[in-house]
Amino acid sequence: MKLLRADFGASYLWRTDLGSFQHGFGFNMNPLNPNSYDDWYQFRDPMTAKLRQRRRASFVEEVLPRRDMLRTEFYNDFLARDGLDHGINMFVFDGDRDLVRLPDLAGCRTPGIRPADGFRRRPRMGAAQS
């Protein structure tokens, strides 16, 4: 997550045999959140399955409009607990086999970035820093 310069992040292993994500870990998140995702929120997550189908890095807003996301249990009871407002998800595959899910999540605590700006104003990796 530090390599991606994520404010927050989490990763989960997709288990095809179980049809679910397992063994989550979080970065700069409440340490209980990965387990609550494993046990409950992945089954109420309105965006991750759609993002996974894209098989490329995608903004959450590409599959779920922000105004709709803000009305969900997933956002209000899970993401908002850590101040997560917007994100990019990247799924890495080896052929048809899932290797990893890497969400890069940003929140209101991102200096100089308003939640509505999303990632579009964040400095790109390798860009000169002042």
pLDDT one-digit tens code per residue, 45-76: 999 889 888 988 888 899 999 899 999 999 99
The average confidence (pLDDT) of the chain is 75
CB 103 within 8 A of CB 74: no
C-alpha–C-alpha distance, residues 114 and 123, integer Å: 14
Look at the pTM and tell me if it is higher than 0.75. no
Beta-ladder partners of 21: 14
Average pLDDT of 77-96? Answer: 81
Sheet holding 58-59, edge to edge: 20-27, 8-15, 97-107, 84-94, 58-59
7: left (phi over 0), alpha (psi -120 to 50) or beta: alpha
Over pLDDT 90: what percentage of the chain? 18
Structure tokens at 77: 């009871």
